[in-house]
Amino acid sequence: MSNIARAFDHGKAFIAFLTCGDPDLETTAAAVREAVRGGADLIELGIPFSDPTAEGPVIQEANLRALSGGATTDKIFSMVKQLRQDVSVPMVFMTYANVVFSYGAQKFISLCRDTGIDGLILPDLPFEEKEEFLPLCRTYGIDLISLIAPTSENRISMIAREAEGFIYIVSSLGVTGTRSEITTDLASIVKVVRENTQVPCAIGFGISTPQQAGQMAALSDGAIVGSAIVKIMARYGREAPPYVGAYVKSMKDALV
């Protein structure tokens, strides 16, 4: 069993996203620990990028704050290595292909293994171009996590059959951000996924309330929350970690 699979082996998974370095890496690390104490089953760590095309204003602004505060990929790897001294839940990076290319794909992916990162989400990497990174990910035991969007349509079964780690189902068209309601026919997407793979799937984009998290987890194997957590980080700054932990607990408690 891969480490990522362990996030889903004891019920519905709650996946928490944080932008690394917002407001600083020490606070990010503290927020990760509090999220885990609150019940997060998997942590997504966003490596800040100057042009995060999949992100809405909340996470875009967090990226800019992190970059202006001096967050770098090297410093983020060091933070992960320190977190791994006491954090055992799966952790994955969410970033952009250009970040990996500019760092050097082999160096980046081998460091993922060496520091304890379990998977990689690249929202700007088309399924048809994943061979750019897949052989290296397999060499170093890193799951290259696939995204399925409402526009994937007749490609859903193909993406599902080749999926690793978990499948990130995008709830809505557009960029990340909280939404008052999610109207996509997600049940039909999950049905096709489950007909084609045993790999678990979780739904993200737009989830901010316990009610929404419960609904999404009822349809799938888990819920992913990013913008709502990043908003807490923006509101409370260095005082945010306990607030993140309490929020994660409220969300995790809603998953049945």
Mean pLDDT of the residues in the chain: 92
Mean local confidence (pLDDT), 207-213: 92
> Quick one: which of 143, 71, 129, 127 has its CA closest to 101?
129
pLDDT(76) > 60? yes
- Cα separation of 230 and 100, whole Å? 23
- pLDDT (tens digit, 9 = 90+) per residue, 148-192? 988 877 899 999 999 999 999 998 654 444 434 444 678 889 999
- Cα separation of 46 and 27, whole Å? 14
Mean local confidence (pLDDT), 201-217: 92
Cβ pair 122, 96 in contact under 8 A: yes
Domain chopping of the chain, boundaries: 4-252
The percentage of residues in the chain with a pLDDT greater than 90, rounded to a whole number, is 80
pLDDT(84) > 70? yes
Q: 25-37 and 227-236 helices cross at what angle (nearest 10)?
A: 120
Mean local confidence (pLDDT), 184-208: 91
Structure tokens at 256: 């049945």
Mean local confidence (pLDDT), 63-89: 97
pLDDT of residue 1: 61
Residue 148 bridge partners (DSSP): 169
The percentage of residues in the chain with a pLDDT greater than 70, rounded to a whole number, is 93
- Cα separation of 202 and 148, whole Å? 10
- pLDDT (tens digit, 9 = 90+) per residue, 96-107? 999 999 999 999
| Fold of domain 4-252 | TIM Barrel (3.20.20)
- pLDDT (tens digit, 9 = 90+) per residue, 2-50? 899 999 999 999 999 999 999 999 999 999 999 999 999 999 999 998 8
Structure tokens at 122: 């690249």
pLDDT of residue 178: 42
